[in-house]
Structure 1
């Protein structure tokens, strides 16, 4: 690994963290570019939070190397800490204090003088839409408000790197959207964000690159678009008018598209993942639609779209892809 690389916010090689016989992080290699959102995507227990805690110097690795802006997380932990901030899965603010009191207290702890701490607190409360709740105890905040205050506390001093560990877990759709807007605003000010999430749509909306983690290992890495393309050119979704024709339509689509057809729980819905180029997929899908019409099968809805990140993750973590160690799949 290099001793310093200003183009990379995070660089790891063979990073390992064990708890007893469990390898929570099992040889992770990452190269996270500075100035954007980088997503760590995976289910509960995949190793995302453990990796973040190692990178934030809260846990000591048991193997491999990790650097943050060129600083070793073990030998130069103080330098790393001076450049990063962490917002964990659960709000770390004091619920018995008001929103303003929390920010004032934390502002003084990070080195602001009294007047500067008040100015910064007022700025953040306004920016995060919390001014009207500034004098209310945090225990009376909604989940979304607590999360916004928690993120505000993380950027009292603007960090070079912000770790956001599952920031929207348990939030309603409106609160999730507000947090997404905050993440985009933080990045616009020049902060790099490492986002861990189990919500695939969240990673798709925010991250410029994504590493998919399962069982402590990176199993694929790339841009959202490249990850989607890696499992097929597109996905055909069909809704039939008559559920009694589904078996016939399924067989016809399987032959026309030379692919396995998934019969969904909806009795009139079929899904097919199409291989090949995007242009070829579109041509095959058009012919398949014509074949359905020729067979007298009425289609109420037909669409061809890029595979979703949900489909990417399911494809990468399917049982046939979990037999024995494999090399990480890297896509552009």
Structure 2
């Protein structure tokens, strides 16, 4: 298929490459001319055959809203916009209503996989009408993980518009809680003068235990790089989905104590250097390339937010 892709950062750039490896024609646009295939959104749209499919991978909030509004003036009836960023699901309803006035379809897609998605595939959770989803389906197939002997997983039509980002929001809330548990366990094992090699204990858990996971694999990888997580500040940002998950729990009277505690722990980390938060920061860097707060080098600045 032919597809336009707006935003060629860590995620978008790798997604363009994975789509091209699957044989799809991708026209990419980014404000950075060094990575962009075209000079403008107008040129991107002109290069696509109809019905046009344009996938947006820019930061949530104003950048996404501005991009969707611009596309509403450039696309026509039967075309489809996909928001693959980390937008809040309530924004999807606004975007879909705006585009519907011009008979342009809208699909929201939560994407998980971080910097590893190029090789491993991306987990995709998408919402929208069956008609609109069908126009994007070849891209979903190319981006998701390949089927294995265990089954064909990694992509789901979660429901109507908003369902994709709502599902991704809850996914990230769960991620917060799992990461916090690993981090607290690491700190406790390090604190007690009993275990000789904490990294090897975590490594042993990668097979045969009920707590094995990819996040555990990534924590071990981080500990292999820096066994004591030296140079990493005990500070962890939150990207928004954790807060939104807690707010949704409150709005729907669903208790989320583990997710809430993990979110609050990140807030606390910004007030005091936390050993557990060093582990959380290291895991976030491993799967998403998220910046870590580090001590400044001689004559230099600290790592950016």
Asked whether the two chains share a fold, i.e. TM above 0.5, the reply is no
Where is the helix percentage greater, Structure 1 or Structure 2? 2
Higher-Rg member (1/2): 1
* Greater strand content: 1
| RCO higher in structure (CA 8 A, sep ≥6) | 1
**TM-score, length of structure 1 as denominator length:** 0.27
